[in-house]
A and B are shown apart, each in its own frame.
Chain A
Amino acid sequence: MTDRTIDTKVEQPLVKVENLKRLFPVQRGLFRKATNFIHAVDDVSFSIPAGESLGLVGESGCGKTTTGRILTRLDQPTDGAIYLRDGQEMLNIADIDKDGMKRFRRRVQMIFQDPYESMNPRRTIFDTIAEPLQVQGIGRLPEREERVAELLELVGLTPAPTFMFRYPHELSGGQRQRVAIARALVIDPTFVVADEPTSMLDVSIRISIMDLMLNLANEFGVSYLYITHDLAVARYMCDRIAVMYLGKIVELAETEELLGNPQHPYTRALLSAVPVPDPSYVRPPVEIKGGITKAIDPPPVCRFVDRCPWATDYCRNNEAPPLEEKSSGHFVACHLVEKVS
Chain B
Amino acid sequence: MEHILEVNDLTMHYTVKEGEVMAVDDVSFALGRGEALGLVGESGCGKTSVAMSLIRLLADNAEIQKGSIVLDGVDLVPLVEEEMRTHRWADISMVFQGAMNAWNPVYKVGDQIWEAMQTHFPLMTESEARERIAELFRLVGLNPAMMDRYPHEFSGGMRQRAIIAMALSCNPKVIIADEPTTALDVIVQDQILKELKKIQQELGMSIIYISHDVAVIAEVSDRIGVMYAGKLVELGPTDEVFPRPRHPYAYLLLASTPSVKGPRRKLAPLEGEPPNLLHPPAGCRFHPRCPFATEVCATDEPPYTEVDEGHIVACWNWEQVPELGRLEA
> Is B258 on the interface with A (CB-CB < 8 A)?
yes
Q: In the assembly, what is the distance between CA of A229 and CA of B185, in Å?
A: 8
A281 touches which one: B188, B261, B270 (CB < 8 A)? B261
Please, what's the 1-or-0 string for A149-188, where 1 marks a CB less than 8 Å from any CB in chain B? 0000000000000000000000011100000000000000
> Is B273 on the interface with A (CB-CB < 8 A)?
yes
> Is A3 on the interface with B (CB-CB < 8 A)?
no
Q: Which residues from A are CB-within-8-Å of B186?
A: 59, 229-231, 270, 273-275
> Is A88 on the interface with B (CB-CB < 8 A)?
no
Q: Which residues from B are CB-within-8-Å of A230?
A: 186, 258
Q: In the assembly, what is the distance between CA of A271 and CA of B190, in Å?
A: 11
A211 touches which one: B238, B252, B262, B269 (CB < 8 A)? B269
Please, what's the 1-or-0 string for A284-300, where 1 marks a CB less than 8 Å from any CB in chain B? 00101001100000000
Interface hits, A231-276 → B, CB 8 Å: 231-233, 235-236, 256, 259, 269-271, 273-276
Quick one: closest B residue to A206, CB to CB? Answer: B256
Q: Which residues from B are CB-within-8-Å of A231?
A: 186, 260
**Given A273-B186, A278-B262, A280-B326, A207 contacting B218 (CB threshold 8 A):** no
Contact B262 A202 (CB under 8 A): no
Q: In the assembly, what is the distance between CA of A205 and CA of B13, in Å?
A: 26
> Is A208 on the interface with B (CB-CB < 8 A)?
yes
Quick one: closest B residue to A58, CB to CB? Answer: B185
Please, what's the 1-or-0 string for A105-121, where 1 marks a CB less than 8 Å from any CB in chain B? 00000000000000000
Q: Which of B253, B254, B257 has the most CB of A within 10 A?
A: B257
Contact B273 A235 (CB under 8 A): no
Contact A235 B260 (CB under 8 A): yes
Contact B42 A203 (CB under 8 A): yes
B259 touches which one: A204, A211, A277 (CB < 8 A)? A277
Contact A207 B270 (CB under 8 A): yes
Contact A235 B264 (CB under 8 A): yes
Quick one: closest B residue to A275, CB to CB? Answer: B215
> Is A279 on the interface with B (CB-CB < 8 A)?
yes
Q: Which residues from A are CB-within-8-Å of B65?
A: none
Interface hits, B229-260 → A, CB 8 Å: 238-239, 242-243, 252-254, 256-260
Interface hits, B175-223 → A, CB 8 Å: 185-191, 193, 212-216, 218-219
Q: Which of A60, A271, A274 has the most CB of B within 10 A?
A: A274
Contact B212 A207 (CB under 8 A): no
B258 touches which one: A235, A256, A271 (CB < 8 A)? A235
**Given A207-B268, A208-B269, A235-B264, A279 contacting B239 (CB threshold 8 A):** yes
B253 touches which one: A173, A174, A203, A259 (CB < 8 A)? A203
A3–chain B nearest beta-carbon distance, Å: 16
Q: In the assembly, what is the distance between CA of A59 and CA of B191, in Å?
A: 15
Contact A256 B218 (CB under 8 A): no
Q: Which of B256, B258, B327 has the most CB of A within 10 A?
A: B258
Q: In the assembly, what is the distance between CA of A202 and CA of B256, in Å?
A: 10
Quick one: closest B residue to A278, CB to CB? Answer: B327
Q: In the assembly, what is the distance between CA of A173 and CA of B261, in Å?
A: 29
Q: Which of B43, B259, B262 has the most CB of A within 10 A?
A: B259
Q: In the assembly, what is the distance between CA of A328 and CA of B216, in Å?
A: 35
A55–chain B nearest beta-carbon distance, Å: 12
B327–chain A nearest beta-carbon distance, Å: 4
Bin chain A's interface residue count. Answer: 35 or more
**Given A172-B273, A278-B259, A273 contacting B189 (CB threshold 8 A):** yes
Q: Which residues from B are CB-within-8-Å of A274?
A: 186, 215, 260
Contact B242 A279 (CB under 8 A): yes
Q: Which of B256, B261, B273 has the most CB of A within 10 A?
A: B261
B97–chain A nearest beta-carbon distance, Å: 14
> Is B328 on the interface with A (CB-CB < 8 A)?
yes
Contact B264 A277 (CB under 8 A): no
Contact B42 A292 (CB under 8 A): no
B269–chain A nearest beta-carbon distance, Å: 4
Q: In the assembly, what is the distance between CA of A211 and CA of B265, in Å?
A: 13
Q: Which of B238, B257, B269 has the most CB of A within 10 A?
A: B269
A234–chain B nearest beta-carbon distance, Å: 9
B100–chain A nearest beta-carbon distance, Å: 14
Q: In the assembly, what is the distance between CA of A312 and CA of B14, in Å?
A: 60
Contact B328 A278 (CB under 8 A): yes
> Is B307 on the interface with A (CB-CB < 8 A)?
no
Q: Which residues from B are CB-within-8-Å of A202?
A: 42-43, 212
A309–chain B nearest beta-carbon distance, Å: 13
B142–chain A nearest beta-carbon distance, Å: 12
B269 touches which one: A204, A270, A273, A280 (CB < 8 A)? A204
> Is B157 on the interface with A (CB-CB < 8 A)?
yes
Q: In the assembly, what is the distance between CA of A230 and CA of B242, in Å?
A: 21
Residues on B lying within 8 angstroms of A by beta carbon are: 42-43, 155, 157, 185-191, 193, 212-216, 218-219, 238-239, 242-243, 252-254, 256-262, 264, 267-271, 273, 326-328
Residues on A lying within 8 angstroms of B by beta carbon are: 59-60, 172-174, 202-208, 210-211, 229-233, 235-236, 256, 259, 269-271, 273-281, 286, 288, 291-292
Residue pairs across A and B with Cβ atoms less than 8 A apart, 28 shown, are A59-B185, A174-B273, A202-B212, A203-B253, A203-B257, A204-B252, A204-B253, A204-B256, A206-B256, A207-B269, A210-B267, A211-B267, A229-B185, A230-B258, A232-B259, A235-B259, A256-B264, A273-B186, A273-B190, A275-B190, A277-B218, A277-B254, A277-B257, A278-B262, A279-B219, A281-B326, A281-B328, A286-B191
Given contact pairs A59-B187, A230-B186, A233-B258, enumerate 10 new A-B contacts (beta carbons under 8 Å).
A232-B260, A269-B187, A275-B190, A276-B219, A277-B218, A277-B257, A278-B243, A279-B238, A279-B242, A286-B190
